[in-house]
A = this chain, B = another copy of it.
């Protein structure tokens, strides 16, 4: 019996509010008509407040990876040097994308370990057209120092391309203050819309850099997005995924209604509750922090006890109706991850922790006296 009540607690897609789901079920409209333009304009206005930027913002009908590629493909020529900072799977993805467009200088740190800003500065001082950073590394649950990398990028005159896929809309991001030339977010993460769209902000510096690029991608051509957005009646260059725009617009209205300060506080409290709970259960976090890094406030990555493995924890949770994530690629089975992302409330966190504690107890790795749920509850007092 499928009651459609599985609880998604992975780091995206996140549960979508019923009102947002209903917004999606409206009849199609002409994507070249006034109603679409107004909707797109309103989305861009709300997004400017979420990104904290005066830069142009576009909505691309494609996942976060599409926008990551747009950022690199439109600014990097074959012979341009691009420094990619990696301490997780999405940092690696930037490296892979960059390798298809330019001359990559990969800075590889252990997945889940804080990055060394000294090495970043060293590489940038040798000259680079751009540097990429994953702000919130979803695969490892670590928050990287975007503000500091932004300063270094400006110091050495490199474009700063930032993956904010799982931070923007859920944690503090200051695109203009940090000097982020291109920032990317996915629809299905902190913004709590369905997957399928990504949003990208582009600075004047980034647009200028595009003038030197010979062979930009076509579907992901940011100049084409700008040209269509600058029309008297705002458009997208190619047919947009209309229902996903309906949903995004509603989801962004929810963000506006809550307010970014409250939204960030809620995300931080949720993640803190998860961290407190797992600490009380004797489970270690994956990230190895340094002075420039911190735990992610939208996804928590925990080391799986050797005797159980991350995949078993994930499987046991799924049997109890809760979808959490395991580890990706080299972290497979070594960790498990729980999202605190989107429109969650204290309820979902509590239920997840309670079930996790039961699962780990049945697997023989925690005593099961409720230390986890108690610790979570203490933190969540502020949210309830």
Contacts and interface: CB of A to CB of B under 8 A. Distances in A.
Interface stretch (A41-49, A58-66, A259-267, A351-359): A58-66
A241 B69 contact: no
Nearest to A13: B28
A247 B186 CA distance: 21
Interface stretch (A105-113, A213-221, A374-382): A213-221
Contacts of A244: 196, 241, 243-244
Copies in the complex: 2
Contact of A194 (B197, B216, B243): B243
B33 A323 contact: yes
A25 B16 CA distance: 10
A362 interface: no
A24 interface: yes
A327 to B, nearest CB: 13
A26 B216 CA distance: 37
Contact of A26 (B21, B26, B196, B197): B21
A27 interface: yes
A30 interface: yes
Nearest to A241: B196
A69 B62 CA distance: 14
A8 interface: yes
Contact of A239 (B188, B219, B220, B239): B188
A98 to B, nearest CB: 10
A215 B101 contact: yes
A25 B27 contact: no
A61 B61 contact: yes
Contacts of A254: none
A61 to B, nearest CB: 5
Contact of A6 (B29, B218, B219): B29
B100 A240 contact: no
A196 B243 contact: yes
Given A194-B242, A243-B247, A65 B218 contact: yes
Given A62-B66, A218-B100, A239-B188, A196 B195 contact: no
Interface of A: 4, 6, 8, 10, 12-16, 21-22, 24-31, 33, 61-66, 69, 73, 78, 96-97, 100-101, 186, 188, 194-197, 215-220, 238-244, 247, 323
13 contacts: A6-B27, A6-B29, A8-B28, A8-B29, A13-B242, A28-B188, A31-B195, A65-B218, A65-B239, A100-B216, A188-B239, A196-B196, A197-B241
